[in-house]
Amino acid sequence: MTSDWQKRRSEFNHDWLKNRFLTAVASFMNILDDLVEDTETERSFVGEILPQWPGRAREAARLVADFETQMSPTTLFARPPLCCCGSASASWLPNLVHLLWCRRIGIDVLCIDAARSLADANVAYKNLSEVLAQCADCSSAEALRPFLSHFRTFRSACEKVSGMISRFPSRIELV
Amino acid sequence: MNERNTNPGTPEALTTALPKILVIDDLFGRVQDDGRNPERRDLCGQFLIEDVTGDLQNGQSRQKIKRPIAQAVFCRGQTPAGAGSGDMVENDLYGTLNFVRQLWQPDDGSFPLAMVLLDLCFYTGRVTAASESKRGRGMPEGRDSDDKPALYFGLRVLDALNQEFPNLPVIILSSMPREGVSQQFSWLMGRGFLPRGDANSPKLLRDYLWRHGLIPDQGGRIVGKSKELLLALWAARRAAADRLNVLIRGERGAGKELLAEYINRCGAPEEKRRPLVVVDSGTLTPALYASELFGHVKGAFTGADRERQGRIVQADGGDLFLDEIGNMPPDVQTGLLRVLEGRLVTPLGASSGRAVDVRFISATNEDIELKAAVGEGFRADLLDRLREGRTVVLPPLRERREDIPLLVEQFVRQAEAAGSGAMTRKIAPEAMAKLVAFDWPGNVRELRNCLLKAISDHPDVEHLVPGHLVFAKDSARVSASQLSARRQGAKGVPAGRVGEMKIADLIALLEQVEIDAAETSAWAGRWPDLQRGYADVTLKLLRVALLATRRITLQNPEGELKIHPAIKLLTGDSAITATKAADLVKRIFSSIPEAIRSDFQRDPVLQAAYDIAVRLRPTSAKPGSGKERQTL
C-alpha cells in the first residue's frame, strides 16, 4: 500500500514540480534564450506560474519535516502483525527500530540536505522576485531578458530540490 | 540535427524533414475540455519540439519553436483522450498500438517514426475537482496500482512495442526515478531514459535521436526515408560512435562508399573530422595491391625507383575505406592482419615499421563469411579483425522502393544543374511507376545511369516519359529475388547473405532455362560440355552441403564431415537412409566425366565424402552407368 507521505511526495515532486513547474520554467527560459516564441507563456509566466513557488515550497518543507514520523518503520507497530507484540516489547522495540532506521538511512543528513536545498531555492526565488519588482514589463521577454541569470539560478535550485526529494526512500522499510 | 544541406542536387524536402517522434504520455497527450493542453506546450518549449498532432483547438498556435529538433505527435495512451470532470479514464493498450501502427507505416509519404518517448506512470480512475486541482485539468484521481513501478502501464506499452516493433527505438520520458524500473526497462529493450525537468533536455533528446533515432542523413548525401535505409544509417551511426573497425555489406551500386563516408562524417564533428582514404580493391592488380596499401621503399622491387607512402599511412589518424575486400590477394591479407594486430605498418622493402592509428571501414558484396568459413579466398582471423563485431548491411534498392522517387528527383535535378540548360523536367507518373517497379540489380548506381542517359539522349524535353528510359537488357529479366518473393507472396526478400542471393539467382536461372526441341542442331557437339557443367554444379552443391552440415565441436573446430545430413540437405529428403545417401554420393562421383575428375579428386572435402561413401557401401553401384546418371 502506498503511504500518505509517498502520495504527497508524488503529488509534489512528480505531478507538480517536475511535470508542470520545471517544464514551464524550462520552456520560459527557452523563450528568454530566443529559441521559442510563445506569447501566452511570455505573458503569464511571471504573473501566474512563478508565484506558485512559495506555497508549494511550504508544502515541500512539511513533506521533509513529516518524513521521519510518517515513513519510520515504527508506524508498522500500529498495524498487524506487529501491533500484536506484547506490551513489554512494545515499550522499547519501536524506539530501537526507529533509532536503527534513522542511523541506517542517515535521516539527519537527508533531512538537513533537503531543507538546505529548499532554503536555497527560496533565497533564489526571493532574489528573483526582488529584481522582477524593478522590471517595467514582466510580460515581455525583451524586458525580462536582463534577469536571465536570476532565472537560471532559481531553476537550478528547484532542480536540486527535486533531486533531494527524490532521494528519500520510497517505502517504509524495516531495519 | 537540423543541418541545412548545401548540396544543390538534393531535394529541399529531404534535408528539411525533421525526425518525427511519438510521445505517449497521459498528461501531455490529453486534450482538456477547453481543447487545450498548456503542459504539452511547455514540454514542446522545453525540448524544442514542434507539436504536429493537430488535436488541440487553440493556444498551441501561439508557440513557435525557432530551430526545432523534431516534430512530435502526442498520444494519451488512455481513453478518453479528452476526459472532463466526472469521466472515467482507463489505459488503452490496444488503441495505443493501433496509433503506433499508423505512424510506423505512414501512407502519406512522410518519414516513419524516428523514436517513441514513453511515460511510465499513467493515472487512471475518475476525473474529479480534486484530481484536476492536483494534477491538471482532465487528469483522474489515480489508483494505487498506477504508481507501483512493477505495474506501470508504460512498461506494458514498452513490452508490447518491443514485441511488435522491435526496430522502433523507445526512450522512457518520466519524472519517476529510473532506479525503480531499471531492470524491467533493460529486459524490455528500452533504449534510454530521459528525465523531465532537466536543464539539458534538448541536448539529451538530440543525443538520443542521434544515437538511436531512425533519421535520414541530414547531410543529404544518402537519400532515402525507407525504414530499411534508416535502420542501416542507425547501425552506421552506432558503428561510428567509436573507433572499432566496421564491415559494410551490400550489393554493387548500393552506395557502400557513401555509407563509409557517412560513418566517417558521423564519427566526429566537422571541425574535428578525421581523413577518409579510399582504396578500391577492385581496380588494383595483385602485384600493386601490397604497394598501394603498405607503401614501399626505393628499390623494393623492379620499378620502385622512389619511395611511396602507402594508403594506410595516409589514413593515419583517420579512416581507411577498403572496397571489395573479397578481391584481396592472400599475401596482402597476411600483411594487413599484421597491421591490424600490431597497429604497425611496414612498407615493402623496409626493415622497420611505423605506428598508425587507423580505423578500417571495409566493404564487400560477396559472402565473405562463407569464404572465410570454408577457408577459400579469405582469412577468418582477418575478417574478425575487420569487423570487430560490427557489420552494417546496406539494403539493395529493390528492398527500399519508396526511396526511388526521391532518388529520381535528386538525380534529375543534379543532371539539370550540371547541364547548361535551365530546364526543369517533370517525371511522368507512368515513367516513375516503371522506375519504381524495376528491380535495379545494379542498385542506385544503375538508376542514376539510367536517368542520366535519358536526360542526355533527350535534352529538349520537359517531361520524362517511359519511352525515354532504357533499362539494361541483362537486368530487365525478373530477378531471382523477385521470383523468390513472388513464390513467398511477400513484398521483398528478407535481407539475407550475399551467398543466399547467389543461390537464389542460380535457382532462378535454372528455372528460366527453356530448351527448344526444334533447335536440336544447336546442341550438336555440346553434350559433353553440358555434362561437364552439370557435374560441376552438382559437385559444388554437394561440397557446400557437406560444409554446411559439418559437426563442429571444441575438439574438432574444423568440423567433422558427414554425408548423411549433407545428402538430406541437398535432396530435401529427410527420410533418406544413411546407406542410400552413401549410394547417392557414389553415383554423383560416378557421373563425373573423366576430363574433370582429377580436379575434384584434389578437393579434400569431396575426396573425404567419397571415402566415407565407399566405406559405408563398398560394393554398391558401379560407377559410370547411364542409369545412375538418370537417377541423380
Task: Work out whether strand B308-309 and strand B295-296 pair parallel, antiparallel, or are unpaired.
Answer: antiparallel
Question: What ipTM goes with this model?
Answer: 0.88
* Averaged pLDDT for residues B216-223: 87
With a CB cutoff of 8 Å and minimum separation 6, the contacts of A64 are A111, A114, A115, A118, A165
* Averaged pLDDT for residues B493-518: 55
Record: contact B198-A17, CB cut-off 8 A: no
Q: How close A132 comes to chain B (CA, Å)?
A: 22
CB B326 within 8 A of CB B319: no
CB B538 within 8 A of CB B585: no
Burial call A2-16: b when 16+ CB within 10 Å, e when fewer: eeebbebbbbbbbbb
Average pLDDT in chain B = 82
- All cell numbers assigned to B379: 582469412
Task: Report the range of poorest mean pLDDT among A6-15, B304-313, B413-422.
Answer: B413-422
- All cell numbers assigned to B126: 475518475
CB B174 within 8 A of CB B61: no
CB A9 within 8 A of CB A164: no
User: How many residues are given for chain A?
Assistant: 175
Chain A residues whose beta carbon lies within 8 Å of the beta carbon of residue B74: none
Record: contact A24-B42, CB cut-off 8 A: yes
* Averaged pLDDT for residues B338-362: 91
Question: Residue B100's closest CA among B54, B17, B167?
Answer: B167
Chain B residues whose beta carbon lies within 8 Å of the beta carbon of residue A4: none
pLDDT at B628: 37
Grade residue B577 by pLDDT with cuts at 50, 70 and 90. confident
- The minimal CB distance from B46 to the residues A11, A14, A23 is found for A23
B544 vs B446: which has the higher pLDDT: B446
For the ranges B12-26, B81-95, B493-507, the one whose mean pLDDT is highest: B81-95
Q: Is the pTM of this model over 0.80?
A: no
Record: contact A34-B136, CB cut-off 8 A: no
Amino acid letter, residue B78: Q
Q: How close A96 comes to chain B (CA, Å)?
A: 29
The C-alpha atoms of residue B21 and residue B365 are separated, in whole angstroms, by 34
Q: How close B159 comes to chain A (CA, Å)?
A: 23
B180 to chain A, any CB pair closer than 8 A? The answer is yes
* Averaged pLDDT for residues B233-242: 90
Grade residue B506 by pLDDT with cuts at 50, 70 and 90. low
Q: How close B193 comes to chain A (CA, Å)?
A: 15
Grade residue B125 by pLDDT with cuts at 50, 70 and 90. very high
The C-alpha atoms of residue B190 and residue B205 are separated, in whole angstroms, by 15
pLDDT digit string, tens, across residues B578-607: 888 888 888 888 878 777 777 677 788 888
Please determine, for residue B630, whether its predicted confidence score (pLDDT) is greater than 70: no
Record: contact B45-A166, CB cut-off 8 A: no
Please determine, for residue B490, whether its predicted confidence score (pLDDT) is greater than 50: no
The C-alpha atoms of residue A46 and residue A143 are separated, in whole angstroms, by 12
Grade residue B483 by pLDDT with cuts at 50, 70 and 90. very low
| Torsion angle of the four alpha carbons B105, B111, B117, B123, in this order, in degrees rounded to the nearest 10 | -50
pLDDT at B218: 81
Look-up: residue for cell 622491387? B301
Question: Residue B137: how many CB atoms within 10 A of its CB?
Answer: 20
pLDDT digit string, tens, across residues A75-125: 887 777 777 787 877 788 888 888 888 888 888 888 999 999 999 999 999
pLDDT digit string, tens, across residues B29-46: 999 988 899 999 999 999
Q: Quick one: B556 exposed, middle or buried, by C-beta within 10 A (0-12, 13-18, 19+)?
A: exposed
Please determine, for residue B512, whether its predicted confidence score (pLDDT) is greater than 70: no
Record: contact A35-B199, CB cut-off 8 A: no
DSSP state of B61: G
B299 vs B360: which has the higher pLDDT: B360
pLDDT at B575: 82
SS3 B441: coil
Please determine, for residue A158, whether its predicted confidence score (pLDDT) is greater than 50: yes
Chain A residues whose beta carbon lies within 8 Å of the beta carbon of residue B41: 27, 38, 40-41
Task: Report the range of poorest mean pLDDT among B80-94, B200-214, B485-499, B529-543.
Answer: B485-499
User: How many residues are given for chain B?
Assistant: 632
User: Is residue B628 within a helix (H) or strand (E), and if so which, with residue range?
Assistant: helix B626-631
Chain A, chain B: beta-carbon pairs less than 8 Å apart? 93
Instruction: Tell me which residues of chain B, numbers 94 to 153, contact chain A at a CB-CB cutoff of 8 Å.
Output: 121, 134-136, 144, 147-148
Task: Report the range of poorest mean pLDDT among B44-53, B75-84, B164-173, B615-624.
Answer: B615-624
* Averaged pLDDT for residues B236-254: 91
For the ranges B272-276, B346-350, B471-475, the one whose mean pLDDT is highest: B346-350
Task: Work out whether strand B246-249 and strand B391-393 pair parallel, antiparallel, or are unpaired.
Answer: parallel
Record: contact A18-B135, CB cut-off 8 A: no
pLDDT at B518: 65
Grade residue B485 by pLDDT with cuts at 50, 70 and 90. very low
CB B627 within 8 A of CB B590: no
Torsion sign across C-alpha atoms B131, B133, B135, B136:
positive
The string of DSSP codes covering B77-110 is SEE-TT--TT-EEEE-HHHHHHHHHHHHS-SSSP
pLDDT at B410: 92
Please determine, for residue B542, whether its predicted confidence score (pLDDT) is greater than 70: yes
Q: How close A86 comes to chain B (CA, Å)?
A: 32
Please determine, for residue B397, whether its predicted confidence score (pLDDT) is greater than 80: yes
The C-alpha atoms of residue B345 and residue B207 are separated, in whole angstroms, by 36
φ/ψ of residue B464, rounded to 5: -85, 120
User: Is residue B249 within a helix (H) or strand (E), and if so which, with residue range?
Assistant: strand B246-249
Please determine, for residue A26, whether its predicted confidence score (pLDDT) is greater than 80: yes
- The minimal CB distance from B144 to the residues A2, A156, A170 is found for A2
Question: Residue B424's closest CA among B462, B459, B454, B456?
Answer: B462
- The minimal CB distance from B66 to the residues A35, A40, A155 is found for A35
CB A2 within 8 A of CB B144: yes
pLDDT at A145: 92
Please determine, for residue B2, whether its predicted confidence score (pLDDT) is greater than 50: no
CB B463 within 8 A of CB B428: yes
- All cell numbers assigned to A73: 518503520
Q: How close A133 comes to chain B (CA, Å)?
A: 25
Grade residue B480 by pLDDT with cuts at 50, 70 and 90. very low
- For chain A, give the longest Cα–Cα distance: 70
- The minimal CB distance from B135 to the residues A13, A15, A28 is found for A15
Task: Report the range of poorest mean pLDDT among B119-128, B152-161, B300-309, B398-407.
Answer: B300-309
